[in-house]
């Protein structure tokens, strides 16, 4: 009997809670207020997401006409260790890279459809520079073989989302371009340009020409 009475008491409390909930839900002003609040929070979240996407897109630069995307200059700091100057327009950055060969990865955003018709220009972003040793045992213990040149804050990466899900939003085409491994040498300078076939690295100094001849 004790547990039967307890069960009845709990059931009555449940019924009372149900009646209170039904009364609250029945009031149109509460329901409308909840809907307005939910819609406001949803729009606020969307606005924040759009702002983060805009900040990510801002890290891309228009493709320069008739000029290289970047110029890389190598200065030896020691055996198979180089200080690399990357000149991108008027901006220069210095990095340290180890290895015998270097590689450059870049991202491209091509506008298409209506966006292309109204004159939006393609953009690019340098992603990373990698160094590689010809000897595997050196590669395994190297410290400066990959240097990131850009990042998408807070994990909002429009380019990666477009590539991973094969989306294009009918406006954007995300592409990856790469300069495959070329030799590093003291005094070597390479200019990297975009061609219809991809990224093209051209030697600009005698040291770069000689390094290519010795490597090939």
pLDDT of residue 139: 77
Question: Do residues 118 and 95 make contact, with C-beta atoms less than 8 angstroms apart?
Answer: no
My answer on whether 112 and 46 are in the same domain is no
Question: Cβ contacts of residue 143 below 8 Å, gap of 6+?
Answer: 98
Q: How many CB atoms lie within 10 A of CB 95?
A: 16
**Domain ends where: 21, 39, 57?**
57
Q: List the single range of 39-48, 85-94, 182-191 with lowest mean pLDDT.
A: 39-48
My answer on whether 102 and 39 are in the same domain is no
- Total of domains in the chain: 2
My answer on whether 77 and 165 are in the same domain is yes
**Cα 80 to Cα 131: distance, rounded to the nearest angstrom:** 10
**Cα 157 to Cα 127: distance, rounded to the nearest angstrom:** 12
**Cα 110 to Cα 8: distance, rounded to the nearest angstrom:** 69
Question: Do residues 86 and 71 make contact, with C-beta atoms less than 8 angstroms apart?
Answer: yes
What pTM did the predictor assign? Answer: 0.76
Gyration radius of the chain's alpha carbons: 29
My answer on whether 107 and 203 are in the same domain is yes
My answer on whether 207 and 191 are in the same domain is yes
My answer on whether 45 and 129 are in the same domain is no
My answer on whether 164 and 68 are in the same domain is yes
For 185, the 3-state DSSP assignment is: coil
My answer on whether 104 and 187 are in the same domain is yes
Q: Residue 43 belongs to what domain range?
A: 2-57
pLDDT tens digits, 164-178: 876 666 678 889 999
My answer on whether 125 and 195 are in the same domain is yes
pLDDT tens digits, 49-66: 777 777 888 888 888 888
pLDDT tens digits, 146-168: 899 998 878 888 888 888 876 66
My answer on whether 146 and 45 are in the same domain is no
**Cα 23 to Cα 111: distance, rounded to the nearest angstrom:** 54
**Domain ends where: 39, 57, 75?**
57
My answer on whether 50 and 104 are in the same domain is no
Which residues is 20 bridged to in the sheet? Answer: none
pLDDT band at residue 10 using 50, 70 and 90 as cut-offs = very low
**Domain ends where: 57, 79, 102?**
57
């Amino acid at each position: 009997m004790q547990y039967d009475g307890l069960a009845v008491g709990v059931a009555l409390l449940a019924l009372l809670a149900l009646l209170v909930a039904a009364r609250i839900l029945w009031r149109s002003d509460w329901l409308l207020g909840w809907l307005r609040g939910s819609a406001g929070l949803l729009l606020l979240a969307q606005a924040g997401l759009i702002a983060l996407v805009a900040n990510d897109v801002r890290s891309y630069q228009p493709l320069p006409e008739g000029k290289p995307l970047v110029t890389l200059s190598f200065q030896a700091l020691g055996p198979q260790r180089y200080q690399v100057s990357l000149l991108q327009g008027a901006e220069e950055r210095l990095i340290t890279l180890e290895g015998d060969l270097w590689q450059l990865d870049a991202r491209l955003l091509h506008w298409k459809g209506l966006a292309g018709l109204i004159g939006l220009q393609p953009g690019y972003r340098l992603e990373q520079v990698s160094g590689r040793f010809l000897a595997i045992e050196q590669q395994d213990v190297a410290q400066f073989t990959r240097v990131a040149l850009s990042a998408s804050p807070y994990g909002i990466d429009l380019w990666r989302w477009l590539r991973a899900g094969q989306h294009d939003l009918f406006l954007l085409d995300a592409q990856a371009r790469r300069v495959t491994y070329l030799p590093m040498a003291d005094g070597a300078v390479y200019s990297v340009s975009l061609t219809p076939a991809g990224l093209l690295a051209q030697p600009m100094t005698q040291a770069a020409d000689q390094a290519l001849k010795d490597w090939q």
